[in-house]
Amino acid sequence: MRENLPVLQVVVPLLAAPLAFLVRRPRLSWLVALGAAFWAFFAALSLLTGVLASGAIGYEIGGWEPPWGIEYRIDELSAWVLVIVSGIAAVVLPFARASVEREIERDRIPLFYTALILCMTGLLGIAATGDVFNVFVFLEISSLSAYGLIAMGQNRRALTSSYQYLIMGSVGATFIVIGIGLMYSMTGTLNMADLAERLPAVAASRTIPVAFAFLAVGVSLKLALFPLHLWLPNAYTYAPSAVTAFIASTATKVAVYMLLRFFFTVFGAAFSFEVMHLDRILMPLALVAIVAMSLVAINQENGKRLLAYSSVAQIGYMVLGISLASVLGVAAGVLHLFNHALMKGSLFMAMGCVMYRVGSCRVEAMAGLGKTMPFTMAAFVVGGLSLIGVPLTVGFISKWYLVQAALEKGMWGIAAVVLLGSLLALAYVWKVVEVAYFRPPPDGPGVREAPLSLLIPTWVLVAANLWFGIDAKTTAGVALRAARMLLGAGS
C-alpha cells in the first residue's frame, strides 16, 4: 500500500465524497467525512516521513510513464502542504458536527459534507500532482465545492459572497488554464519536471513570458494577494463557521503552494526572479497588504471579517518571504503556511464557538464573553498572541525567520514593516479582547460556555500553536529543506 499512497491520498477522499451524500443521514455522512479526513491525515503524515527519510516519491498513474501519463510527485513541499490541508480537515471535522447542525438545515447536511470532502480532495490533489493540467482540474474541484460551501451560510449575503468569489475565482482559474495552454503550445508537455527541462529552450519567445504573466495573475487571484483579495472578506465572513475555519487555513495556502510550484519548480527561480523580476511586483504588493489590510482589519466591526482582513495581511507575509527569493525567505514563507494555518484555524474556530452560543460574530455581541465563555475567549487570546508573534507561539517563529531573511539581504525597511505588522495585529486582536473582557455582558439570559465538542478541537489547534512555537525544529527543518529544494541549492 505504501507505494500507492500518493494516489490513495487523493482517491480515497474522492470516493468518500459521493458516499457521504448517498448515506443520506447527517450523522453517517459526518462519519464518512471524518473517516476521509483522518485517512488523508494519516496518509499525508506517512508520506511526509517517507519523503524526509528517502527523498521525493513519484507515482505513475495507470503505469504510464511520465511525461506521457499523469505523474503524482510528492516532495518535501507537497508533503508539507498535504499535512497542512488534511491536518486542518481532521481538526475541523470533529468541530463541524455540532456547529453545522446549528447553522445548516438538516436535509442539506449530507450535501455539505460531500462538498467539504470534495474541497479537501481538490486541495490535496493540487499538492500531490506533478502535472500542471491536473493542477487545474483539482483547482476547479476545490473551488466549485468551496463556492457551494460558502453559499450554505445562514446569512442571505452568503449567496452574493459566494457569487462574487465564483466570478473572481473563475477569472483566476481561466488565467491559469490559459497560462498552462500557452506553455503546452510551446513545449508539448504538461509534466512539471518535463516542463522545467524544456522551458529554458523556448524562454526567449514572447509566448512564455505571456504564459508567465497569466499564471502570475491567476495564482495571485487565488491566493488573494492584495489588490486581488476582494472576494475574500465576504466569503470568509458569511460562510458557515466550520467552512471558514477550513478554507481560511487551507485554500489560500494551497494557492501559495501553486505560486511556489509554478515559479520555482516549473519556470525556475532564475527565470522568475532574474529575467521576469517577479519580486518587483510581489514585494511591494506584499508590503502594502501587510500594512493596509491590517489597518483595515482594525476598523472592522465583525469578528470574522476582522480575521479575514488579517488573513490578507498574513498572506502578505508569506508572499514577502517568497519574494526575497533566498533560502531563508522562502523557508519563512513555507513555514508561515503552516503556522498561519494553525493560528487562523484556532481563531476562526473560536469564532465558531461564539457563533454557536451567541448567534453573531459582531464584535459588539462579544461583550462580557471573557466571563461567560472563558475557554473560548482564552483560545482566542492565545491564537491572537500567536498572530501578533509573541515568543513561544508559532507566530514568533515565522517572524524570526522573516526578519532574519530581510536583514540577511540588508533590507532594513522590510524588517521594520514585518514588525510594524505585528503591532497592527496587536491593535485588532486587542479590540476584540477589550470588548470581551471589559464590557459587562448584556442583560437577559446568560450565555453558556461552548460545548466540549467545539472546545476540544479548538484547543487542539491552540495547543499546536504553542507546541510548534516552543519546539520549532521539525517545522523549521522541513521548511528549510523545502526552500533549498525549490531553489535548487541541494539539501
What residues make contact with another protein under the rule CB under 8 A?
Answer: 385, 388-392, 397, 399-400, 403-404, 407-408, 415-416, 419-420, 422-423, 426, 430, 434, 437-438, 469-473, 476-477
Cβ–Cβ contacts within 10 Å for residue 469, how many? Answer: 24
Query: Smaller CB distance to another protein: residue 419 or 460?
Result: 419
Query: Smaller CB distance to another protein: residue 140 or 408?
Result: 408
Q: How far is the CB of 186 from another protein (least distance, A)?
A: 42
Query: Between the CA of residue 355 and those of 98, 182, 347, what are the distances in Å?
Result: 11, 46, 12
| CA angle, 211 then 259 then 171, to 5° | 60
Q: What secondary structure letter does DSSP report for 450?
A: P
Query: Smaller CB distance to another protein: residue 66 or 389?
Result: 389
**Which of 182, 194, 56 lies closest to 131, judged by CA?**
194
Query: Smaller CB distance to another protein: residue 9 or 376?
Result: 376
Query: Smaller CB distance to another protein: residue 18 or 391?
Result: 391
Query: Smaller CB distance to another protein: residue 248 or 367?
Result: 367
CA distance 24 to 450: 28
Query: Smaller CB distance to another protein: residue 80 or 113?
Result: 80
What phi and psi values does residue 449 have, to the nearest 5 degrees? Answer: -65, 150
Contacts of 309 (CB under 8 A, 6+ apart): 233, 293, 294, 296, 297, 300
Q: How far is the CB of 444 from another protein (least distance, A)?
A: 21
Q: How far is the CB of 472 from another protein (least distance, A)?
A: 5
Instruction: For residue 131, give the 3-state DSSP assignment.
Output: strand
Q: How far is the CB of 219 from another protein (least distance, A)?
A: 30
Q: How far is the CB of 111 from another protein (least distance, A)?
A: 44
Are 333 and 273 a contacting pair, CB within 8 Å?
no
Q: How far is the CB of 427 from another protein (least distance, A)?
A: 8
What phi and psi values does residue 256 have, to the nearest 5 degrees? Answer: -65, -40
**Which of 468, 471, 469, 490 lies closest to 87, judged by CA?**
468
Q: How far is the CB of 261 from another protein (least distance, A)?
A: 26
